[in-house]
Amino acid sequence: MAIIAGIDVGTQSTKVVVYDEETKTIIGSASRPHEIIAKSDGSREQEVSWWTDAIRECFLSIDSSITLTIDAIGVSGQQHGFVPLDKDGNALYRAKLWNDTSTAKECDEITLCAGGNETLLETEGNLILPGYTISKILWFKKNKPDLYKKMEHILLPHDYINYYLTGNYTCERGDSSGTGLLNVHTMEFSSRLASCIDKERDILSLLPKRIENSDLNGIIKDEIASLYRLKKGVVVSSGGGDNMMGAIGTGTVKSGTLTVSLGTSGTIFACSDKPLIDKNGYLAAFCSSTDQFLPLLCTMNCTVATELTRTLFNRGVKEADEIASSAPIGCDGLTFLPYFNGERTPNYPYGKGTLIGLNQDNMKEAHIARSALEAAIYSLRLGSDTFKAMGYDIKEIRLIGGGAASRIWRQMCADIFNTKVVIPTVSEAAAFGSALQALWAYKTHLGEKVSIEGIVATHVTIEEKSTYLPDPMRVEEYEKAYRRFLRYMDGVKEMFSTSQE
């Protein structure tokens, strides 16, 4: 029986969990926050040293009697981030993050070069959206030309942590599919898209070696083992993006299950045995980190809107939820478009937070607070509607992320999606999922015949008393408010999809 650690390097914090395979329990955990460098042009950046410092602090805060028993580690990382390294593996610049919208013009340039959205969907399977790594590389070339010339490696956040731990440059297809460079039909990086970045330099040669999801990235370096109070020889799995690891941590490794994550970003994703190409571009045709596919919708503004609203009124989380609960469904006609950081779905890189429909009856704290909660779920329902339209049979939704702790949001999800909602027992799904993927890789490395589906079936459980069912009357009321949300969303398209400068 093995002891496995999962590391999740997220936007707001790094989390570490240590899992005992035999007892099926989390025997150690820790978390450390990150800062974010935010600029008015939409830039969102972090120093990579903040991640490695946070990981070290997490391991050192867990008792050494636990850390010294760890056999394997899996790493989850925020998707789409861009980490440029020089020939010696040193970061040349801050990591540009998934929610960085400063590269909207570069997205347009690459899309035009690639023949437009229709050609992109037919050829590579995905659009070039703000947040994806590919536009950040072009931005780096244009804005930091001297550093660009020194760039010898292009890594994603989780790839960088793997490199930091083992010294090996690798990637896997799940996280790679979110770069904008992977052709999900052929499972190869696209040379034609790479040439849209640089026609003279071979960008693909700067990408790490791709390994299988059940493979090991390598063995942790002795100096890192000593620093983290780990034994020598601990293995590190391929890891993956946070949504890919969240899928494993919630058991979304077979068709019919849908995961919704309510975090800084909002995501809704499913498991498929083939790529789902959405002609409207709402669903990204991502790969999973379990050798399958992970069609996914992501919004850049989920808890962002509710946190800003709470700050405006100086309320705590529970207090804000209680106040929001006092307002009626639909907020008496008030609609929130929560596009504070620009938005990815819909593709509104120049979006702003907007309240529409204010009048003398709904200009109240409760209505504004509830409209922020509702808007986050309406935005994600675009995904569930698309899944249904493409023939995906949704049996239940597994709810994770910081927002999943909110009971009003739990019931709201059940009613707005008109689907049963359940809560996984382990709340830190990405960290837990990376631990389970590491368990899969570790056992495979030892020669055992195991499947990720079998591991998930054994170790992922659901809270028995946390099932939320839709109520027909509430479903009907939310449907009216959702249709109003869609009308307003479409109404601001021209203003928010192009620069108004």
Radius of gyration from C-alpha coordinates of the chain: 22
**Which DSSP symbol is given to 336?**
E
- Surface-to-core class of residue 61, CB atoms within 10 Å of its CB (0-12 exposed, 13-18 middle, 19+ buried): middle
Cα angle 63, 67, 69; round to 5: 125
Q: Helices (DSSP H) in 314-350: which residue ranges?
A: 317-325
Give the residue from 220, 240, 170, 217 showing the smallest Cα distance to 70. 220
Give the residue from 45, 48, 46, 53 showing the smallest Cα distance to 16. 53
Give the residue from 395, 385, 421, 384 showing the smallest Cα distance to 406. 421
Q: 8, 159, 242, 321: which is the annotated catalytic residue?
A: 242
Give the residue from 383, 410, 199, 203 showing the smallest Cα distance to 281. 383
Reply yes or no on whether 361 is catalytic. no
- Surface-to-core class of residue 108, CB atoms within 10 Å of its CB (0-12 exposed, 13-18 middle, 19+ buried): middle
Residue 27 CA to residue 24 CA, distance in Å, equals 9
Residue 348 CA to residue 43 CA, distance in Å, equals 15
Provide the 10 A C-beta neighbour count for residue 368: 21
Q: Which two tokens stand for residue 352?
A: 């702003």
Residue 456 CA to residue 461 CA, distance in Å, equals 9
Position 497, amino acid:
S
- Surface-to-core class of residue 332, CB atoms within 10 Å of its CB (0-12 exposed, 13-18 middle, 19+ buried): middle
Contact between 403 and 376 (Cβ < 8 Å): yes
Contact between 190 and 182 (Cβ < 8 Å): yes
Residue 337 CA to residue 323 CA, distance in Å, equals 20
Strand-pair partners of 398: 259, 422
Residue 484 CA to residue 332 CA, distance in Å, equals 12
**Structure-token match 């995961």, residue found:** 259
**Residues tagged active-site:** 242
